[in-house]
Chains A and B, each alone.
Chain A
Amino acid sequence: MKNQINFRSTLAICFISIIIVLFAAVWSLAASEKPTGALVGTVTDATTDLPLVGANITVVNTLIGTSTDMNGRFQLPRVPVGKQLLKVSFIGYRAERVEVEVLQDESTHINFALSPSAILFDQVVITGSRQSEELSEAANSVNVLSNLEIRQRNRFRLDEALEALPAVQRVGENISIRGGTGYSLLGVGGSRVLMMIDDVPVLTSDLGRANWDLLPVTEVERVEVLKGAGSVLYGSGGTSGVVNIITMRPTEAPVFKFRHSAGVYSNPSVPEWKWTDENLYFYRSDMSYSGTIGRVGLRLSASRHYSTGDRQNGDFSRWYFTARPVIRFDDGSNLAIFAAYSRDERGFFLQWQDQNHALNTNFQDRIDVDGFFISATYNKLYSTRFALKSRLSFNSQLIGLPFNLTRDFKPALGFSGEMQGSWLPNDRHTLTFGIDAKRDLAESSYFGEHRGSAVSPYLQEKWKVNEQLQLSAGVRYEAYYLVGDSAETQFSPKVGLSFKPFEGTIIHSSLGRGFRAPTIAERFSVTDPSDNVQLVNNPTLLPERSTLFDIGIRQRIGEFLSAEVTAFSNSYTDLIEIAQISDLTIELQFRNYPRARIEGIETEAKMQLFNNRLGVQGNATWMRSRSLESDRLFDLDVDTPLPYRPRFSAYVSPFVKFGNLTFEAEYRYTSRFERVSFFPRDERVPLKVLDLRARYQWKRYSFLFQVNNAVNYNYTVIEQNLGELRNFSIAISGEL
């Protein structure tokens, strides 16, 4: 009966949403017939003349916008004739606003040369509002990692690259934002960070896992990390945040890009840990081609990554392929397709043999991870004030688990579709609304065959009250049905504000609810009695819910210094965690955790001096996580810290430039976890990792020498699993 009521109310809400979309579309169509022209040009670095990839160009007070391709070029068709205010921004550069005259049926050329700047928030983001908005005016806490930063740091995986951001930690296979995620045993537990590719959620349908290695980092234009209630616009999964990966677009002119990297591992700093006389090494090659033929832009890439690993059974072999065709139509609309396939064959280093043989293991399990994702998005700008986006996507993933558990899994399949409208009724209001639907299919001998579906309408309004104050409010209704089982429903409301009391100062705040339905694996997994891990099912598992609040200030001092300080308080109810349910045997079950709260302060600052020859960027986060109730099963008292949450973490990265030669250092510190789940009596130390690199830029080629973990510091994040040993690598990248 309850399901029927939920279903009816969802249908009613969906119906109303569709009516609103159609109404707005018809209304806007009527007002769309105005003469237009085009704007084309390039965006380059003023100091090096090199093209800036992924710089944002927007026509102010309209929905017209784009970003630069790999050659730094951009094209804005169908811009209304007359004087238009154009804004160009790129992370790490000073934003510029220029007034241009657009002529009817003509292309107006305009080039921008941006100067490097220490301003962290002179950029455009889309995550959090589903619309391009200036980060300086965003109510949400959003951090951006650009392709330039990923390339310069020679990172191979997205989750490695994200560790440079404030309050972002890698805990095993999971990314944790503001301490929202702990460690899930063998990765069976779902992610509390919603991973998206170009606005499309891509968590696996069975385990709810994020495959951070689904696509090569060289195909990423930028990553936006939303720290706050992502469930409002994106649905289940974003209980503690959202990581939105914006992929590269095809270029107008043909271009071939490459990056080759190779390196070796040092011997361990503890001689007793040396486990082989073989040389331990790795190499990585990334190649891409991009160009346009007629109406079709095409981008193709292939990557190969091989490593012997630095430990026994730590080797892996990976392949990645992506394709991105974009078809432009006469009316200015386009169809963008993105497909990614990756395969990872590797050993699984579950835990060390013992602390005196920290690089040896007794487990010789090998796992395969297969991922395929494809999405097709049709973008149509009906007028400068109304746009519609429709998309379909398919996600097929087989995440490998140790102990041969995956042998009885079928790839988890996810189908989804969405329609989203954006409407600017006037210069002060922006309305975003839409509806999305998804279907999950998962099958394995451990949880049987399950099908689930969700239908979710959403709505968000942004109101620019005046030049100083901007308010936003949004709501999403989520209804998730498991066939033959109960339904989960959730209203996720969110409000936010940004206030500019003085030039250069922005105060921002947001409050919202997050939601994550239990995954099929968390609810229904039962292992075979002969398996090493005994997992008991829990069909009555409740969904996780979070209430996320933050308030912060963004401050700039001239062009050489900017800083942001944000305080947050996030409350969680019914977190899904693994528990040992019997003292007699090693029987585990996913259970709902008692209420918990994580509060803290995060800071970020960037400074550049002497015409960008010397600079430093850093962040620090203080956090307190605690249980609000006692629970015998989880061994919790009131105020007990949650496991795998650090009290303090910091990151600092200085650089110095001598002409084309740049020296950089990165230092990451994470305090010792106060609590861990599996081997709490094992010795634990803080994480202290220093990376050093020297980079030489010659024309369009870059040469890099890098030392990761330069002092060969030994630490564990997950118990009995040592951090990566020191390694030396060289890399060359460029384009032909």
Chain B
Amino acid sequence: MNEKRAIHIQMKWKIILSLLLILLAGCEFDKGLDVLKSRISGEVVFLGTESRPDNIDEVRVVAVANFPPSGLADVFFSEAIPFDRDTAKYEILLPLGDYPAVGVLWKPRGKDWAFTSLLGFYGFEPPASASLQPVTLTENEPIATDIDLFALWELARLDAEISGTVTFQGELPENTDTVLLAAFTGIPDLNNVISLLGILGGLPLPVPLNNISPGATYEFQLPVRSGGYKYLAAFWVAKGGFETIQLLGFLPDPQDPDKPRAFTLPADSVLSGLDFIADFEMVK
């Protein structure tokens, strides 16, 4: 009798278990992550191939979710694109959202990605226009095609060099992110950060912060493009981004120290003795 009861109980369990398994098999399970359907794509048109530097490691298209970007988290990179031709197709997978800037960056061999290594951006159509065009991906329009970009190799050509010293005055503010030296082909408007990129003579040079103290002199060597320059200056950037970029001092004209000195650099030339003062008292 007990044996019969035990068999009966076992049967009951087996039936319950089978039913549970059937129930499980019939369930629709959440699969979690899936492929990303939203993206931007287009073509990069390289201009001025003769100016292309030899030390290029990679070229990628980036989309930034905040402009100016406050860090890596704001930036989405495409795969590396071929740069030994006139045009290259690209695609960046992106979550839905607003992307105020899409640009082409190049990375010099042996150096890291830097947001200043810009070759062009969406809305930059030399020589006609240079205003940032945003891209927006929505539920209804998750794919943006034909986001074509012009990339100007001229912006990467660094065939001349300037050198000199910067003497610092005043105390380095605590909220300093970086101190930069940069040469411009025009007079920069610090209220319009994006406009600076169009007149930059080369990559800005960050000054190591531990080299900065009142009265300290920093010797610099700055690779730039050959051509005419109107402004060489030191800038202060506060933590939190480029909105707070401020002038510390510029290379003065020896005839009129209140005005910046202009100079011209032939290809493969080195201009030295460019000495000026950077004063942290100018930081507001």
Q: Are A and B subunits of one complex? A: yes
Least Cβ–Cβ distance between B142 and chain A, in angstroms = 13
Cβ–Cβ < 8 Å partners of A679 in chain B: 73
Binding site secondary structure of chain B? loop
Could you tell me if B29 and A584 are in contact, using CB atoms closer than 8 angstroms? no
Chain B stretch 21-49: residues in CB contact (< 8 A) with chain A: 29-36
Closest-by-CB residue of B relative to A362 is B79
Cβ–Cβ < 8 Å partners of B239 in chain A: 632-633
User: Does chain A have a CB within 8 A of B214?
Assistant: no
Could you tell me if A529 and B36 are in contact, using CB atoms closer than 8 angstroms? no
Least Cβ–Cβ distance between B48 and chain A, in angstroms = 25
Q: Complex Cα distance A353/B35, Å? A: 12
Binding site secondary structure of chain A? loop
Knowing A632-B239, A663-B17, the reply to whether A270 touches B34 (Cβ < 8 A) is yes
Interface string of B53-89 (1 = CB under 8 A from A): 0000000000001001111111010010000000000
Chain A stretch 149-193: residues in CB contact (< 8 A) with chain B: none
- How many B residues touch the partner, as a band? 35 or more
Binds B, one of A414-422, A513-521, A681-689: A681-689
- How many A residues touch the partner, as a band? 35 or more
Other-chain contact of A685, B32, B79, B177 (Cβ < 8 Å): B32
User: Does chain B have a CB within 8 A of A656?
Assistant: yes
User: Does chain A have a CB within 8 A of B227?
Assistant: no
Could you tell me if B65 and A681 are in contact, using CB atoms closer than 8 angstroms? yes
Closest-by-CB residue of A relative to B39 is A356
Could you tell me if B70 and A635 are in contact, using CB atoms closer than 8 angstroms? yes
Most chain-A Cβ atoms within 10 A of its Cβ — which of B35, B113, B175, B204?
B35
Cβ–Cβ < 8 Å partners of B115 in chain A: 583-584
Knowing A683-B33, A714-B32, the reply to whether A656 touches B13 (Cβ < 8 A) is yes
Cβ–Cβ < 8 Å partners of B146 in chain A: none
Interface string of B196-216 (1 = CB under 8 A from A): 000000001010000000000
Cβ–Cβ < 8 Å partners of B173 in chain A: none
Cβ–Cβ < 8 Å partners of A663 in chain B: 17
Closest-by-CB residue of A relative to B115 is A584
Could you tell me if A658 and B14 are in contact, using CB atoms closer than 8 angstroms? yes
Chain A stretch 476-490: residues in CB contact (< 8 A) with chain B: none
Knowing A583-B242, A586-B72, A680-B73, the reply to whether A713 touches B17 (Cβ < 8 A) is no
Q: Complex Cα distance A354/B180, Å? A: 34
Chain A stretch 346-384: residues in CB contact (< 8 A) with chain B: 353-356, 358, 362
Other-chain contact of A355, B36, B68, B116, B206 (Cβ < 8 Å): B36
Q: Complex Cα distance A381/B72, Å? A: 59
Most chain-B Cβ atoms within 10 A of its Cβ — which of A355, A529, A635?
A355
User: Does chain A have a CB within 8 A of B266?
Assistant: no
Knowing A583-B241, A715-B33, the reply to whether A355 touches B72 (Cβ < 8 A) is no
Cβ–Cβ < 8 Å partners of A532 in chain B: 112
Q: Complex Cα distance A633/B240, Å? A: 8
Enumerate 23 A-B pairs (CB-CB under 8 Å) in ascending A order: A270-B31, A272-B35, A354-B79, A355-B36, A362-B79, A529-B110, A581-B177, A582-B178, A582-B206, A583-B115, A586-B72, A632-B239, A656-B17, A658-B10, A681-B76, A682-B95, A688-B30, A711-B30, A713-B32, A714-B32, A714-B33, A714-B34, A722-B33
Please name 10 further chain A to chain B contacts, defined as beta carbons within 8 Å, in addition to the given A269-B31, A583-B115, A632-B175, sorted by A numbering: A582-B178, A583-B68, A583-B70, A583-B240, A585-B112, A586-B112, A635-B70, A656-B17, A681-B65, A685-B32
Chain B interface residues toward A at CB < 8 A: 10, 13-14, 17, 29-36, 65, 68-74, 76, 79, 93, 95, 97, 110-116, 175, 177-178, 180, 204, 206, 237, 239-242
Closest 7 CB pairs between A and B?
A: A714-B32, A714-B33, A711-B29, A355-B36, A356-B35, A713-B32, A354-B93
